Chain A
Amino acid sequence: MEPVKAIEMKGISKAFGSVKANEDVNLTVYNGEVHALLGENGAGKSTLVNMLSGIYRPDSGTVSIYGEEVGFTSPKDSIAMGIGMIHQHFKLIDVMTAKENIILGKNQGLITRNKYISNEIKKVSDQYGLDIDLDKKVYNMSVGEKQTLEIIKVLYRGAKILILDEPTAVLTPQEIKKLFTIVRNMKEQGCAVVIITHKLNEVMEISDRVTVLRRGRSVGTVETSKVDTSTLIEMMVGKKVDLAIKKEKTADAKKLLLEVDNLHVKNSEQKYALEDISFKLYSGEILGVAGVAGSGQKEICETIAGLTKAEKGRIIFEGEDIIGKSPREIIRLGIRMGFIPEDRLGMGLVGSMDIVHNMILKDYHNQPGIFLRRGPSVKKATEIVDKLEIQTPSINYPVKKLSGGNIQKVLLGREIDSNPKVLITAYPVRGLDIGASYKIYDLLNEQKRKGVGVLFIGEDLDVLMDLCDRVMVFCIGKVAGIVNPDEVTKEDIGLLMTGGKGGALS
């Protein structure tokens, strides 16, 4: 029997102003298959699926669902055709229960037939092997539970085609496994599943076929079993890329640079965001920090950088306690510390200013007099643009108009230029394409060679294990363990992240 074409998109083009997000893209997804949509950031994956879910309309091309040509004008039309979209950022209401979230927005007349609805939901979730406590409030749920809830929500609305946008980005390895089981169940039930991702190992593990997008165009569709990762990368990037991250062993005797001892930090709700954090950072090493998002990564960075007040504890930088000192006092003490915050344009840089004015952000106040001197920073900007190969029309170009990778290079360039002894980087490759990510890894390794102690907050466990000398695992504001990546598996780290036992302490 010929498999049913659940989705057929032909010659899809979509432009935003002068930017062509999609150009002549073709995508065919059959019933009972898991189809991966692979591509770098900005390749047009999200634009494409947003046309499936009725958020955008294509400029040209046709979309057919189960062989019927459709022209969605709103997400409602898309839902009516059985398409369910799970967004990367969950669209749930925190203060409501799972059940309330599921029935939200579904017309149901005046009276809510509680029992009946509960049974209906139960039926759907049993069919796909999903498990959830319907009366649990969303704010009490883990990320994995929220995702399950999102899936039940779209299935309850009759979705037969499921689109998952970067579903694994926020999950632990264990949660990912669970998700993949659900996806396989759905496949067996005859659903069509589209997974958007840029993680290759997941593509290999879960998908039957892959469609690769590059710069808005579809490069091709291949059967997963017939390709290997390096072929996929070549399709994604357009050239061969060596994906191995080199971990260099520095032979020199390591010097203690930074010691964090018994650190406690409260958040704005007066709850502990960090509790009893103690670790040491040595020269010439990259210390990775792993953890579920929001486990205290932001707070540890900002506390060390002097931006957040600590409740108690000590942060000793080369013998000097810097706790309670402002960023400017830390600089005045002659402590050289670089900090690449998570939010590059919102915190690390001034988006509307040019590269020159961003170079002086942290040292302008050391200039004598009341006037601002541009000369030295013009020189610095030129050097950094040159050295890090930043693609920009000129050094007088607003940084927010640069691409993500180039923005990050400006920020990293400035921080490295101050010759730091300690470099704190929070998610330095988030949103960057493969080429730019590897450039950043190279730069971090170069700093390590120079004897800098690097604190690397990461989210991709594969990268953390390949790049870092040691990995510190955070779990709800506490250090769950510090491990040597050569001695443990990804699953061990995953267990630590969620508070399970295991993992060798180094």
Chain B
Amino acid sequence: MNIISISKREDLPQKKEWLIRALAVALSIVCAGLVIRILGYNPLQVIPSMVSGAVGTEIRLQQTILKAIPLVVTSLGILVAFKMKFWNIGGEGQIIMGALGASYVALNIEGLPKFATLILMMIAAMILGGFWAFIPAFFKAKMGVNETIFTLMLNYIAIKFVTYLQYGPWKSPDSQGFPKVATFSNNAILPKLFGIHIGWIIALVLVVLVHLFINHTKKGYEITVVGESQETARYAGMNISQIIIVATLISGGLCGLTGMIQASAVEKTLSATLSGGYGFTAIITAWFARLNAIAVLFVCIAFAILLQGGAYIQISMQIPASVADMIQGIILFFVLGSEFFLQYRVNINRKRLNAKEVA
């Protein structure tokens, strides 16, 4: 036998599980510290300032939460699809399409009260985001087309389409030649509460709703069964095509809603870059939360701290962006890598090890 063998773990006590995770975080910080040291910075300065940069003052904390909001909403969308083992890699495109829908309302419909405008924007965003997820879902349900590549490719179509609008028909005449869509009127901008736009309330409500939906509704039950085994779903008499389509509509709709929040409250206009990679990052956060809606909230906040802290040290310590990215990467690597040790145990065959040394 090999000196090292790997076997699947049966059950791991909760305590040990958290110990492994804590160890991973600690190791990642040590490792990141080493890298910072090699690059000629003082890790004892850099790492604490990452934390303080993310949560140190009220304004910084607000910035962190601003980053957490789209992450939470998108992760919830991804979660619904992943629960069904529908690999929706198209969060980016669905966010962009959602933003497009919201912008259309914001730029073209006038004279409605603010509340109605915002609701209409949300609906438009969810319909367009949902539609963008519906296309691959339809082909998956009817013809068994692989959704992974399909959703991924739709991202680029959405981004290029909005780029076209931004440079062409939707270019604002007031932008003095800049390829920029007109800024929204005040009516189309989400209001603030406690200094942060109310997207945070939307995110919190959605966490609870998605949790209820997955765990306590019939549809949520169906989605889980289909994800587990389509044969079982067929056996139970479920309408699999319909379930696939409903779940992806919800998934895409939530991603679309992220687009509306970002367009309305952050960018205040439509741009091809407003998805900011959240559609991809959300895949990591949703997985790391083990597809649990409540856990999504905490994972996304932790992630936002990482993003914001990274951004902060670039400015305050003149550390290049690539170093901040590296630190984030190292932490991610360890934390996600620890999942392996939660699922498997590594046995070192001491007897053989000794035998080798003798020989």
Contact = CB atoms under 8 A, between A and B. Distances in A.
- Asked if chains A and B come from one complex, the reply is yes
Interface of A: 16-18, 57, 73, 305-307, 326-328, 331, 339, 341, 343, 345-353, 357, 360-362, 364-365, 367, 370-372
Interface in B77-123: none
B237 A17 contact: no
Of residues B218, B228, B229, B232, which shows the largest number of chain A Cβ atoms within 10 Å of its Cβ? B232
Interface stretch (B1-9, B51-59, B302-310): B1-9
A415 to B, nearest CB: 11
A16 B225 contact: no
Interface of B is mostly: helix
B228 A348 contact: no
B228 A350 contact: yes
A343 B236 contact: no
B213 to A, nearest CB: 9
A371 B218 contact: yes
A18 B224 CA distance: 30
5 tightest Cβ-Cβ pairs between the two chains A and B: A327-B237, A328-B237, A57-B1, A347-B231, A17-B7
B10 interface: yes
12 contacts: A17-B9, A73-B1, A306-B237, A307-B234, A307-B235, A326-B237, A327-B237, A347-B229, A347-B231, A349-B232, A351-B228, A362-B237
Contacts of A352: 228
A305 B216 CA distance: 28
B80 to A, nearest CB: 15
Contacts of A362: 236-237
Interface residues of B, number: 22
A367 B218 CA distance: 9
Given A361-B236, A370-B218, 6 more contacts: A17-B7, A17-B9, A353-B224, A353-B225, A361-B225, A365-B218
A341 B216 CA distance: 27
Nearest to A344: B232
B45 interface: no
Interface string B231-243: 1101111000000
A370 B231 contact: no
Nearest to B213: A370
Nearest to A306: B237
Contacts of A345: 229
B219 interface: yes
A16 B217 CA distance: 39
Nearest to A305: B235
Contacts of B220: 372
Contacts of A341: 235
Given A350-B224, A350-B229, A17 B8 contact: yes
Given A352-B228, A361-B225, A365-B218, A17 B345 contact: yes
B221 interface: yes
B235 A370 contact: no
Contacts of B8: 17
A345 B235 CA distance: 12
A111 to B, nearest CB: 37
A370 B237 contact: no
Contacts of A367: 218
A361 B229 CA distance: 12
Contacts of B345: 17
Given A347-B229, A357-B221, A17 B236 contact: no
Nearest to A362: B236
B216 A371 contact: yes
B345 to A, nearest CB: 7
Contacts of A364: 218, 221
A348 B10 contact: no
Contacts of A347: 229, 231-232, 234-235
Contacts of A349: 232
Contacts of A371: 216-218
Contact of A372 (B9, B221, B231, B235): B221
Given A57-B1, A361-B236, A343 B228 contact: no
Contact of A339 (B10, B224, B229, B235): B235
Contacts of B1: 57, 73
Nearest to A60: B351
Nearest to A345: B229
B231 A343 contact: yes
Interface in B3-20: 7-10
Nearest to B9: A17
Interface in B231-265: 231-232, 234-237
A327 B218 contact: no
Nearest to A58: B1
Contacts of B221: 357, 360, 364, 372
Contact of A353 (B218, B228, B235): B228
Contacts of B7: 16-17
Nearest to B220: A372
A346 B217 contact: no
Contact of B10 (A17, A307, A331, A361): A17
Interface string B201-227: 000000000000000111111001100
A345 B216 CA distance: 23
Nearest to B345: A17
A373 to B, nearest CB: 9
Given A307-B235, A331-B237, A362-B236, A372 B224 contact: no
B216 A348 contact: no
Contacts of B237: 306, 326-328, 331, 362, 365
Given A17-B9, A331-B237, A350 B225 contact: yes
Given A327-B235, A350-B228, A370 B217 contact: yes
B24 to A, nearest CB: 22
A367 B237 CA distance: 15
A109 B216 CA distance: 64
A227 B212 CA distance: 62
A60 B195 CA distance: 67
A20 to B, nearest CB: 13
A361 B236 CA distance: 6
A328 B231 CA distance: 15
A327 B236 contact: yes
Given A16-B7, A327-B237, A361-B225, A372 B218 contact: yes
A346 B231 contact: yes
Contacts of B225: 350, 353, 361
A343 B345 CA distance: 30
Contacts of B216: 371-372
Contacts of A343: 231
B219 A350 contact: no
A270 to B, nearest CB: 17
Contacts of A327: 234-237
A4 to B, nearest CB: 28
A439 to B, nearest CB: 23
